[in-house]
Structure 1
Amino acid sequence: MEYLSATSFTALLSFPTSLLVLAIILFYFIQSHRNVKKHPLPPGPKPWPIVGCLPTMLRNKPVYRWIHNLMKEMNTEIACIRLGNVLVIPVICPDIACEFLKAQDNTFASRPNTMTTDLISRGYLATILSPSGDQWNKMKKVLMTHVLSPKKHQWLYSKRVEEADHLVHYVYNQCKKSVHQGGIVNLRTAARHYCANVTRKMLFNKRFFGEGMKDGGPGFEEEEYMDALFSCLKHIYAFCISDFLPSLIGLDLDGHEKVVMENHRIINKYHDPIIHERVQQWKDGAKKDTEDLLDILITLKDRNGNPLLSKDEIKAQITEIMVAAVDNPSNACEWAFAEMLNQPEILEKATEELDRVVGKERLVQESDFAHLNYVKACAREAFRLHPFAPFNVPHVSAADTTVANYFIPKGSYVLLSRLGLGRNPKVWDEPLKFKPERHLNEMEKVVLTENNLRFISFSTGKRGCKGVTLGTSMTTMLFARLLQAFTWSLPPRQSSIDLTIAEDSMALAKPLCALAKPRLRPQVYPGY
């Protein structure tokens, strides 16, 4: 007679237990997914095996137009497009957008891993582009407590005023170049470099990396740096093939990797020497006073008195701040002036408001902003109608869930369409018309934020823009100073501004140039 060994007997006894545990796990899995599985995916095109809709995407550039045209053809406000092994969920309905970023904010608070964002953030060491996790929590706390707090915003006030004065000085110098008491001003150049100058002054306590131009304009260094910043911005979430088929990483089939690496190298060329020198100054005791945000980041300490941030973390966070600060205000300003030059009555109303609130004996200050509702309505309308990017920075689903009665699987990329939300005809009357008055009718005091996601200026939720106060101040000051200090008109022999959108972005196809003339007494202009 054969007997069971002790090991075999134990295994036999444990087999039913294992089955029971497995059954319990399976039961709870089915129960937790029952409500999810009964809902369909959002509508979308039928994907190919493995590659999904990537072949169609590659044949239809720019991709954002293909996606929006697809949604229009399907008559849907939420779609599902499989690209490689990723489900991309574009949304153009404010109510559905609020389900994602309000009702289920925790589920959609992460970011995707992409080639571009990995490079720019030095392996996700900063905040905006990083997936959820300990590093993101650490850097978010640093931003909120030590960089973008109300106290720090007030501390940096004089630096913002200095750059607002410099903007007026620069444009005034362009006016003096013409014998006709006016000059042609490239508003894209003026707006973008104002944003960069303000941010550099707050970060590094310096306006220029080089000497700049005698008229106050950017020099070669600033031009090269700005081109690199906007090139990186263009490639963030630019539908790179390897982001959806990770096995292709390193082949650089789109050419994106080479472009991003080169432009990131240019940015580092200007940032790194300043950061290295400043770290050494604090280490040697040569520097003792905090004068800018770089000093603050360097001198932060952990509980043990050691530096809280590494050099790479400081570099990554500074690059993110620069990338985040230059696009929205400058783009909104350029588009608003383009629209207003084609509708001079709007330009006149904004100028009249500034004369009534501020007068002509001094330049507008941040303390005036609360009373400049029409000027802010013009900026708000530019954010609505002409966003810098067609989509918001993607959100990633951390779990299977349902939104708007559709199944949203874990790992899906959710793209809130800045373009689709702001131009949704179900939300906005005459959505393609620039009408600042629409915002005056909605609120007693106009603000640039839109918490109900009818358009996106600074987003909302856990991943909402942490620099709303700074972004609002920069945008409003840029508008107000240019409107108050100068009379703007079409260039000679030009009957209107061409509002054609660029082929590969949301910017104007041609940089906006306009005729500027001083409208205040000479003594009011800085540096007179």
Structure 2
Amino acid sequence: MEFHLSFSTIVATSFSVIVVLFLLHNLNRKKANTRKNQKPPQAQGAWPIIGHLHLLGGSQLPHYVLGDMADRYGPIFTIKLWCFATYGDYWRQARKMITLEVLSQRRVETFAHIRASEVRVSIKDIYDRWVLNKMSENSEMMKIEMSQWFGNLVVNIIVRIIRGKKFSPHDEERVRFQTVVKKFIELMGAFVVSDFIPYLKCFDMGGYIKEMKKMAIDLDNIFGGWLKEHKTVKSFTKEHESDHGFIDVLISILQGASKEEFRDFDDDTIIKSACQQLLIAGLDTTSGTLTWALSLLLNHPKTLEIAQDEIDEHVGRDRLVEESDLKNLTYLDAIIKETLRLYPAAPLSIPHESIEDCIVGGYNIPKGTRLVVNVYKMHRDPNIWSDPLEFRPERFLTSHKDIDFRGKHYELLPFGSGRRMCPGIPFALQAVGLTLASFIQQFVLKNPSNEPIDMSETSGLTISKSTPLEVLLAPRLASNMY
């Protein structure tokens, strides 16, 4: 059967189709424009003047509060608070110097002997204590608190890198330094209202500002003493001949820099500030990651066994693991990635500011808006990660094997991304990798309790374990290896 359409029918049909397509196009464009001009939803509960500040100062940790808000309002929403400085010329020049000259992969590798030496000395100290404990208690296993041990080890590494030498065993400055640093970091992580509402600074509620100034002066005096010592040594040596530490490197760099690059600050201030940044950024993040990693391994003994078997296969038991071995320890690398996924050192990213109007996720973000990423929430998003609350390092050997944490894969951002990304990634990864590999290679490790290790968190500058980490251990290698 044949159908014959008249010319008028064809024209009418074509016109109808065109009208329908035109209406659909306008409807879609209207929806797009509506979304484009739409601002992100604002969380409820804001108070006059202080905004949502009261919601973040309670007993619940801020990244949990903001995570609950995301469940309610969506992945992008606004809150009212925050006072934060944008980056200027000094910030750009200082970051360039730190990233390219001081904490570059090449420079970090030159400090490999310091990391290896400090790890070996610290582990030897544990072994010696185990020998004494066995003699006195007649026990094969010794209990030790690991959070403090990791912290002391990282301090020793950082001090040697900064200063070029370690504290002497009975140096009073060691105790003074550790006391000041501990208090300074506690104050850095404290919830201070005037950080968000600057005009309340004059009241100094809680006395935080007064105490912070005191600790800052103490820390400045310590770094100033080290700097004076290095300048004296360099005055009697040839250029670069005495570059044995972070301070020496900075002195040499600034001697060759033009005055226009850092015209707002003198060289001494820049050097002391850089030393402080390295210390504050590297101490809690590195020791905290090690504490979380070991806690997870003690709660998952099968995973610990697999990691130890991998080291035995690639390194053996007749020599100690070295940094050059880390590239072959893929399962250990997966453990570190999974630890940083579950417990990123900074659960909330460093605030950024939009320097121009932009569109994020379909929402209009005005110039001057502070942008904060809830890294903790994103790392546990079931839309990205299967079984997001489970500790499964294997995911980084299978489904997520190509994901790295250097800022290019937004599913995993423990160190941030972009220009404000942590410049100390090479240092952190090498220190964590070598310490964890060395420790699990050289000791049999057990949970001293029948209960799982407590994984509760506490607030502060970084995400820290709220309770001490105790472990039972015994040597795993021959005595001549220690």
TM-score (norm 2): 0.83
Q: Given the superposition, is the C-alpha separation of residues 205 and 181 from structure 1 closer, same or farther in structure 2, using an over 3 Å criterion?
A: farther
> Where does the alignment leave 5 or more consecutive residues of structure 1 unmatched?
1-33, 87-111, 114-130
1:430 and 1:443 map into 2 onto residues whose CA distance is: 13
1:250 to 202, 208, 217: 202
Question: Hey, what does 1:207 align to over in structure 2?
Answer: 166
Deviation of 1:284 after TM superposition, in Å, equals 6.0
Question: Hey, what does 1:146 align to over in structure 2?
Answer: 101
> Where does the alignment leave 5 or more consecutive residues of structure 2 unmatched?
1-32
2:420 and 2:257 map into 1 onto residues whose CA distance is: 27
Moved more, 279-288 or 43-52: 279-288
Contact 1:338 1:512 (C-alpha < 8 Å) held by counterparts? yes
Q: How does 1:359-378 map to 2 (within 5 A)?
A: 359-378=316-335
Amino acid across the alignment from 2:129: Q
Q: How does 1:477-516 map to 2 (within 5 A)?
A: 477-491=434-448, 494-502=450-458, 506-516=463-473
Amino acid across the alignment from 1:429: S
Contact 2:407 2:421 (C-alpha < 8 Å) held by counterparts? no
Q: Given the superposition, is the C-alpha separation of residues 453 and 210 from structure 1 closer, same or farther in structure 2, using an over 3 Å criterion?
A: farther
Please list the CA deviations of residues 260-302 of structure 1 after superposition, one character each: whole Å capped at 9, or x if unmatched. Answer: 3233334334322111222244346699522112111112224
Question: Hey, what does 2:6 align to over in structure 1?
Answer: none
2:243 to 270, 273, 290: 290
Question: Hey, what does 1:340 align to over in structure 2?
Answer: 297
2:375 and 2:144 map into 1 onto residues whose CA distance is: 29
Amino acid across the alignment from 1:441: T
Question: Hey, what does 1:260 align to over in structure 2?
Answer: 212
In angstroms, what is the RMSD of aligned CA positions? 2.9
SS across alignment from 1:462: helix
Q: How does 1:342-491 map to 2 (within 5 A)?
A: 342-442=299-399, 449=406, 451-491=408-448
1:272 to 224, 230, 233: 224
Moved more, 167-176 or 303-312: 303-312
Deviation of 1:490 after TM superposition, in Å, equals 1.7
Amino acid across the alignment from 1:76: G
Deviation of 1:306 after TM superposition, in Å, equals 11
2:395 and 2:256 map into 1 onto residues whose CA distance is: 49
Deviation of 1:207 after TM superposition, in Å, equals 2.5
Deviation above 6 Å: which 4+ runs of structure 1?
34-37, 304-308
Question: Hey, what does 2:145 align to over in structure 1?
Answer: 186
Contact 1:42 1:407 (C-alpha < 8 Å) held by counterparts? no
1:403 and 1:293 map into 2 onto residues whose CA distance is: 40
Q: Given the superposition, is the C-alpha separation of residues 355 and 338 from structure 1 closer, same or farther in structure 2, using an over 3 Å criterion?
A: same
Q: How does 1:19-34 map to 2 (within 5 A)?
A: none
TM-score (norm 1): 0.76
SS across alignment from 2:202: coil
Q: Does 1:158 align with 2:113?
A: yes
Greater Rg over alpha carbons, structure:
2
SS across alignment from 2:465: coil
The percentage of counterpart residues that share the same residue type is 24
Contact 1:228 1:266 (C-alpha < 8 Å) held by counterparts? no
Contact 1:490 1:515 (C-alpha < 8 Å) held by counterparts? yes
Q: How does 1:54-133 map to 2 (within 5 A)?
A: 54-58=53-57, 62-72=61-71, 74-83=72-81, 112-113=84-85, 131-133=86-88
Amino acid across the alignment from 1:473: Q
Q: Given the superposition, is the C-alpha separation of residues 429 and 443 from structure 1 closer, same or farther in structure 2, using an over 3 Å criterion?
A: closer
Deviation of 1:304 after TM superposition, in Å, equals 6.2
2:282 and 2:78 map into 1 onto residues whose CA distance is: 31
> Could you say which structure has the higher helix fraction?
2
Deviation of 1:501 after TM superposition, in Å, equals 2.4
Deviation of 1:407 after TM superposition, in Å, equals 2.3
Amino acid across the alignment from 2:252: T
